[in-house]
A and B are shown apart, each in its own frame.
Chain A
Amino acid sequence: ILNVEQSPQSLHVQEGDSTNFTCSFPSSNFYALHWYRWETAKSPEALFVMTLNGDEKKKGRISATLNTKEGYSYLYIKGSQPEDSATYLCAFANQAGTALIFGKGTTLSVSS
């Protein structure tokens, strides 16, 4: 059974704080790691796709890193804003063409 773990389950920060979350996945048979952003009452939207060990991706204040050898990925948010409040999901694929296996997500709440 492929298991994707995310931590913390939830966190609350103040506007302007920087924060990071962790995604752990099986380190064997790795194909791709995705991060999705999921706002309440909406559907998940893709943030990043990473396939190579050492990959780093950035979109505005949000960035992600990937370590396939030890099986983890970090998502960083610099200078959190209230509009960053959402659940951040990571998803793992062990080969091309298969379905993504999702973690349970980290729910971020940013107060102004």
Chain B
Amino acid sequence: DAGVIQSPRHEVTEMGQEVTLRCKPISGHNSLFWYRQTMMRGLELLIYFNNNVPIDDSGMPEDRFSAKMPNASFSTLKIQPSEPRDSAVYFCASRSTGYNEQFFGPGTRLTVL
């Protein structure tokens, strides 16, 4: 298995632009998590899905952030409009039912100028 796949690996954009981050979980995993890593807050949970349904989005910082999981093999995290303070590394992780171990993707480093 290729593991959790994220794209792009790096994204540089200008303030006000829309940013879309993508994640493909490990095949067979039915839970998917989006995390943001910053120096100040560490690894913070943004949202997670069980069986493609959003369970907890209380970590989504603002309405500018939205996430979807249209099917079991794909999820997006969108920021519109982006701001410089959104600059961070965004990780996607997946997990199989009955296990707590989460497998992380390589992350997307986002820079908003």
Contacts and interface: CB of A to CB of B under 8 A. Distances in A.
Interface in B1-53: 4, 31, 33, 35, 41-45, 48, 50
A46 B104 CA distance: 9
**Interface on chain B toward A: helix, strand, loop, or mixed SS?**
strand
A89 interface: yes
A105 B42 contact: yes
Size category, B interface: 20 to 34
A102 B43 contact: yes
A89 B48 contact: no
A5 to B, nearest CB: 11
Interface of A: 31-32, 34, 42-46, 49, 89, 93, 96-105
Given A49-B101, A102-B42, A43 B107 contact: yes
Contacts of A93: 100
A32 B45 CA distance: 17
B109 to A, nearest CB: 10
A-B CB proximity, top 10 nearest: A104-B42, A43-B104, A102-B43, A99-B48, A32-B100, A46-B101, A44-B104, A99-B45, A43-B106, A93-B100
